[in-house]
Each structure stands twice: as C-alpha cells, then as structure tokens.
Amino acid sequence: MKSLILFGHGARDSRWREPFDRLASLWKVQHPDVRVELAFLEMMQPSLAEAITSLVNSGATDIVVVPVFFGQGGHLRNDFPVLLESCQREFPTVHLSATPAVGEDAAVLQAIVDFATKAL
Amino acid sequence: MKSLILFGHGARDSRWREPFDRLASLWKVQHPDVRVELAFLEMMQPSLAEAITSLVNSGATDIVVVPVFFGQGGHLRNDFPVLLESCQREFPTVHLSATPAVGEDAAVLQAIVDFATKAL
C-alpha cells in the first residue's frame, strides 16, 4: 500500500506548521485512499522515523517522501539522504523513496509568481 | 514605480538559492516592466535593505515584499515586521508593503499537492 509523507524543516513557533496541516488536509480530501503523514527534520514532531512507523503500522509497504522545502541546501543534500537511509535500515520491508524538493517544480514556482502578480 | 522583492530565509549552501533565482527569472520573463530583486533574511546576500536600495536607485517608489516562506513562524511574525519597519524608516519616501507568506496561498498549496500526486 502506497502512502505519502510531507517532510518539512520544522520551527520553534508552532504556528509555522499551519500550511503543512492545510497541505495534509487538502491531500486527505483529494486522495482519501492514500494515507498521508507530516514529518519534520527538527524542532517539531513527528520525526521521519515516527511518521514511517505510523504508516507501516497501518499497512504501508511503499512510502514516498516529498520534501516541502524551497531550496535544496545542506539539509536536503546532506542530512536528508542520511536520515532516509537510516530509516530504510530500520524498516527493511518497506520501499522508501523521495522526490526532489517541491521548490524544484515549475508549477509550484509558477503558483508563487501568480501569487506575487496578484499582490502588485 | 512599483517593484517586487522576493524575500527568502537564506542558507549556508549557495545551491539553496537556485529556486529563488528561477523565480526571479520567471518573473522577469512574465513581467518585464516590473523590476524584481531577491533578498534574504540571513546567510545570503543581498539583505532586504540592500535590495530596497538597489530598487530605489532605479526609480522604485512602491515596493511589495513577498515572503517566500511556507510557514509564518517566528521569523515572519517577529523578525520580519521589525526589519520592514527599519527599512521604511531608512527609505521614508518609498511605500513599502508586504504580503503574507506564499505558503498561505491556496493555489501554492494545491501546486504542492499536485506535485505529490504526480510522484505517487
């Protein structure tokens, strides 16, 4: 069973996660048959391993992790692959994969340009 | 003259800014008559004040700052308004305004959901 993890940086201010909660809600409405969990690199719960555990416990066998980051800096290029590998060792029967950061996607960038256009 | 600043967090890894450069390029193609500058809160140049200086020197009288952040945590709720006020005092003849973070926009969130949908 395929499942999704939306993976964000995390922040001290709990209100920072509000768009992530909205993303997960949007996903649930549009894909009620594909479970989604949020996960955070630091400063917020759950961790990636905790989110994977939760999905595996509900039957996930194939988990795609989408990094909800604009840029691919040190966190995504260095920390994230190590974290993903460590999770793969912890859950050897699950197929774990990851997409590029959402900021690499042309349609996401265009939506930001459209937002700025409306603001002018 | 109206101008735009796309304002990001900044990161140590210079490759982190690539999507921001692509955003600015997209903007220039689609709005060749509205100048755009990038600016960063920390760890990258130019600062917000430097970007405003550059736009003012080329005739900007009205600058809209778009925070290219997902969440509105401490940086946007606390640091950013102080920074914007300080820039407004430094440039009293320019009209400075700011939008909410792009992560507050429903179309940006939908583009992220669509990206995740394609990945599954």
Chain B, 27-66: which have a CB under 8 Å from a chain A CB? 27, 30-31, 34, 64, 66
Question: Which CATH number characterizes residue A92's domain?
Answer: 3.40.50.1400
pTM score, two decimals?
0.95
* ipTM score above 0.85: yes
pLDDT digit string (tens) for B69-93? 998 888 899 999 999 999 999 999 9
What is the predicted pLDDT for the residue at B112? Answer: 98
**Inter-chain residue contact A70 with B34, CB threshold 8 Å:** no
Instruction: Judge whether A70 and A112 are in contact, CB under 8 Å.
Output: no
**SS3 labels along B53-87:** HHHHHCCCCEEEEEECCCCCCHHHHHHHHHHHHHH
Q: What is the arithmetic mean of pLDDT over B35-62?
A: 97
Number of domains in chain B: 1
The boundaries of the domain holding residue B111 are 2-119
Whether residue B29 is predicted with pLDDT greater than 90 in this model: the reply is yes
What is the predicted pLDDT for the residue at A73? Answer: 87
What is the predicted pLDDT for the residue at B92? Answer: 95
Angle at A91 between CA A86 and CA A94, to 5 degrees: 120
Mean pLDDT of chain B: 96
Which residues of chain A are modeled with pLDDT < 70? none
How many CB pairs below 8 Å do chains A and B form together? 157
B20, B27, B112: residue with CB nearest A102: B112
What is the predicted pLDDT for the residue at A74? Answer: 87
